[in-house]
Amino acid sequence: MQSPETLTYGFGDTPYGRIVVAKSARGIRAVLFGETDAALVAELKARFAGTDLVPAGIGMTRMIADVVSVVRGEAAAGALVLDLRGSPFQMAVWTALQAIPAGDTASYSEVAEAIGKPGAMRAVAAACAANPVAVLVPCHRVVRSNGALGGYHWGVNRKRALLARETAA
């Protein structure tokens, strides 16, 4: 492994709970939901073990506020620069997810077809589960074909709340 990458993280508050935003030199690396700051940091450490995690400094506040705005639906996710790392398949899935209009939902099979791999619905779900940026990649807009929510890495309850707000808007 090379020299550990430095990730700067900071906390923010959303209608759905507390979030932590981890930013690399390239862009936003992760946006995670959590109950407490300690839990969020623990999540970061678990997910980015081996990297150098640095608490937010001055200047991070602005970025946090921006992310929070996006989470609240007051800003476009496309305005943020993401630094997503993953398998080509995961990248394809995440890109396809970002193409889903706000307030609309797609089934896992829809996403699978969108990435040119019809029948890969379960793999899509797995890729979504690995999605590190929570709301910025709208994995919460992906539901089952029968209309059920399915599952959510950060809790179906949270997914339900997110969808409720977006569909209402």
Partner DNA sequence: CTATATAAAGTGC
Partner DNA sequence: GCACTTTATATAG
Site for DNA in 68-97 (CB under 7 A): 86-87, 89-90
* Residue with Cβ nearer DNA (18 or 47): 47
Q: Which residues pair with 10 in a beta bridge?
A: 21
* Residue 2 interacting with DNA (CB under 7 A): no
Euclidean distance between CA atoms 126 and 162, whole angstroms: 20
Residue indicated by tokens 């209309």: 147
Euclidean distance between CA atoms 69 and 67, whole angstroms: 5
* Residue 151 interacting with DNA (CB under 7 A): yes
Inter-residue contact 131 to 137 (CB < 8 Å) = yes
* Residue 131 interacting with DNA (CB under 7 A): yes
| Residue 1 identity | M
* Residue with Cβ nearer DNA (55 or 101): 101
What residues have CB less than 8 Å from 14, skipping those under 6 apart? 68, 71, 72
* Residue 146 interacting with DNA (CB under 7 A): yes
Inter-residue contact 22 to 48 (CB < 8 Å) = yes
The CB-of-123 to DNA minimum distance in angstroms stands at: 3
Site for DNA in 22-51 (CB under 7 A): none
* Residue 108 interacting with DNA (CB under 7 A): yes
Among 31, 128, 133, 162, binds DNA (CB under 7 A): 128
Question: In the complex, which residues of this chain contact DNA (CB under 7 A)?
Answer: 86-87, 89-90, 107-109, 117, 119-123, 125-131, 139-140, 142, 144-146, 150-153
